Structure 1
Amino acid sequence: MIHRYDSSVTRGDLLSSASRPDETGADPRVRFRQAPLHGPLNFLLIGSDKRSWSPDAGQRSDTIIIAQVNADLTKVSLLSIPRDLQVEIPADRKAGFEGGSDKINAAFSYGGGGNGGVQLLSATLTKLTGVKFDGAAIIEFSGFQRVIDLLGGVDLCVDHQVQSIHTDKVFKVGCVRMNGADALDYSRQRYGLPDGDYDRQRHQQQLLKAILQRAGDSGLAYNPLKLDQLLRAVGSTLTVDTGGRSLTDLLFGLHRLGPADLTGIKVPSYPDMVGDVSYVFLSGEAPSLFVALRAADLQTWAAAHPKWVNPL
């Protein structure tokens, strides 16, 4: 069974060498073998509409989340990175990119797409925050439609009415159980919302929590057939870099985490225009956030800065 589920997940070398933890004299891909899982842990989660990219298409990462698990593996902080955040993207000689200032979601394209694009994105985040990553995953959010439908839908609360830019759907204020197509559509909206992309970030964090909540409430553990379908559907939406750990070790090590253990955080920042181009710029509390991120203490930072905590 372990082989069945493990083989459904695509493996990729997603992290740059600059973004992996320093291990003197050790191959970073095997540094965790034979060692029990312990925290803190940092994972880079990237959401995209497609699993395979074409460098010629100029594709960009749609969603960027840093998930930090605390030292005793009981809490997870979800830090959403604004897609329009202005950053310094380091040079990537393999891709022929000399480095420069741009929106952070351009790093994927400059890295040539695919694994190389994610590697440059991870290097950009390490340069920005100083954090190193224990693993990474590309999540095909459109593929999560089947996952949500297998769960029988997820419960989401719409706080502001919004018209979908993808369909003729109008999401009205109120709590409702959404099917996969509607849940993913709603979580991708940013136009017409009071806080634009910040609302979108919060809704995506809420969707991840809703999926975990529904998985726990739906009795999947007592339905082997549906559980098998769900695990394989989840696997088909992922490309992962586990830093040398097996997925089994990660799943068993993190099994205590539930929806109530998630905290959503946004980067202290503000939107502004440069000419006719919209950007997001870091604000005064961002440096202290990055210090807490490096110290694996996001929970304490969030408690002291409630303005930047998303209600989930």
Structure 2
Amino acid sequence: MLGVGLALVLLAGLAVVGIKTLSHRYDSSVTREQLLDDDARSGRTDLDGPLNYLLVGTDRRAGSSEPDQRSDTILIVHVPAGRREAYLVSIPRDLLVAIPPTNGFGGGQDKINAAYERGGGGQAGTQLLSATLSRLTGLRFDGAALVDFSGFRKVIDLLGGVRMCVDTEVRSIHTNRVFPTGCQRMDGAQALDYVRQRYDLPGGDYDRQRHQQQLLRAMLDSAGQADLRTDPMKLDQVLRAVGGSLTVDTNGVPLEDLLLALRALPPDGMRGVQVPSFPQTIDEVSYVVLDNGGNGLFEAVRSTRLPAWAQANPRWVTRL
């Protein structure tokens, strides 16, 4: 969805023929795999009505021969009918869930980001993660994407950085860099370092989720401000970098059809949603558990009532 969002910003105002031409040109740069478990797939090949996509962020592209077993970012992207807004529902990485059995794993209770690891990472790991989420939420997905956030570092740099507003000073546990409060321009390495932080933040992982949502919006804003359509060489670099950072499962829908269906979706129509939940220590292990089953969030997504749920639960919603 972020790749589609960037493409929409870059292609905004182009005629249909222009979108088709460019989507054909960059189609080959995107890796395609079956990322969804059969039981987690909607089976729809049309783009009518509301859409639900699974977005998984890793530190390494799927198919790498080296370990890439962490899925530190898990988002359900819900696009209501009408295509005028999108909701980014962040799933807490430590959420306690029931992971179904798979090859070499008998199933059981664990943190949700362990599902990706139990499945072996990459394509198989995303399939197990999608099956876990589908059982938890009752949702079936219209597509999925693996995002290599290390690869997105290059995209951010090509866009000239992103503007991020830091509300609480934090020191990186990875680089020891200090991020002072206030709005500031960050390059790719700084932005990705910042949105990985959760320790010493008032909201812990909830703040990390919000910062990741804000980064997605900031990248769309930078793409719109760069006016890359007047710089064909830079446009080519950015689109190839975006494509090279994505592994997608479009459920059989051509990429150009997805672009055309979502072309009216404005960047300022994005909302960040956090799952109603709270931290809890069980047997000396720190987890996140659902608050009252998620306080009706997943039911609202299934029944296409998420906009109404968001209005009734402003504590868990952020306009990005």
Structure 2: how far apart are the matches of 1:53 and 1:236?
13
Contact 2:24–2:256 (8 Å) recurs in 1: no
The reply to whether residue 11 of structure 1 matches residue 32 of structure 2 is yes
Matching residue's letter, 1:223: D
Q: Structure 1 residues 234 and 42 mapped into 2: Cα distance closer, same or farther (>3 Å)?
A: same
Letter in 1 for 2:99: I
| Alpha-carbon spacing, 1:286–1:295, altered in 2? closer, same or farther (3 Å) | same
The count of corresponding residues between Structure 1 and Structure 2 is 299
DSSP 3-state at the match of 1:239: strand
* Cα deviation code 1:252-302 (max 9, x no counterpart): 211122221100000000011123311000002614111101112222111
Residue aligned with 1:4, SS? helix
The answer for the alignment partner of 1:149 in structure 2 is 157
Structure-to-structure mapping, 1:108-257, within 5 angstroms:
108-257=116-265
Q: Is the 8 A contact 1:14 1:119 kept in 2?
A: yes
RMSD of the alignment, in Å?
1.6
Amino acid at match of 1:6: D
Over 2 Å off, 4+ runs: 1-4, 52-58
Distance 2:66 2:48 in 1: 40
In the TM superposition, residue 60 of structure 1 has moved relative to its aligned partner by 2.6
Question: 1:216: how far off?
Answer: 1.1
The within-5 A match list for 1:281-296 is 281-284=289-292, 286-296=294-304
Relative to the length of structure 2, the TM-score reads 0.90
- Listed as ranges, the matches of 1:256-295 within 5 Å are 256-284=264-292, 286-295=294-303
User: Cα deviations across residues 143-186 of structure 1 (Å, max 9, x unaligned)?
Assistant: 11111111111111000000011112100000011111111111
Which residue of 44, 55, 61 corresponds with 2:71?
61
1:39 aligned to 49, 69, 80, which one?
A: 49
Question: Cα deviations across residues 67-108 of structure 1 (Å, max 9, x unaligned)?
Answer: 00111111100000000000011122xx12221110001111
1:95-124 C-alpha deviation (Å, 9 max, x unpaired): 122211100011111112221111110000
Q: State how far apart, in whole Å, the 2-side matches of 1:241 and 1:304 are.
A: 33
Of 80-89 and 273-282, deviating more is 273-282
State the distance in 2 between where 1:294 and 1:157 align. 33
Distance in 2, Cα, partners of 1:106 & 1:306: 30
Instruction: Name whichever of 244-253 and 285-294 sits farther off.
Output: 285-294
Which stretch of the first structure deviates more once superposed, 54-63 or 210-219? Answer: 54-63
SS for the counterpart of 1:156 is strand
Give the conservation status (yes or no) of the 8 Å contact 1:39–1:73: no
Separation in structure 2 between the aligned mates of residue 244 and residue 207 of structure 1, nearest angstrom: 29
Contact 1:158 1:174 in 2 (8 A): yes
Whole-Å Cα distance in 1 between the matches of residues 176 and 63 of structure 2?
Answer: 28
Per-residue Cα deviation, 1:180-231 (whole angstroms, up to 9, x for no partner): 1111111111111111100000000000001111111221122222111111
State the alpha-carbon separation in 1 of the partners of residues 73 and 27 from structure 2.
24
- State the partner residue of 1:100: 108
Equivalence for 2:81: 71
Partner SS for 1:46? strand
If the length of structure 1 is used for normalisation, what is the TM-score? Answer: 0.92
Unmatched runs of 5 consecutive residues or more in structure 1:
22-27
- In 2, Cα distance between equivalents of 1:284 and 1:55: 41
- State the 1:39 CA deviation: 2.9
Residues in 2 aligned to 1:5 and 1:56: alpha-carbon distance in whole angstroms: 27
Corresponding residue of 1:24: none
Distance 1:168 1:287 in 2: 38
Match status 1:84 vs 2:105: no
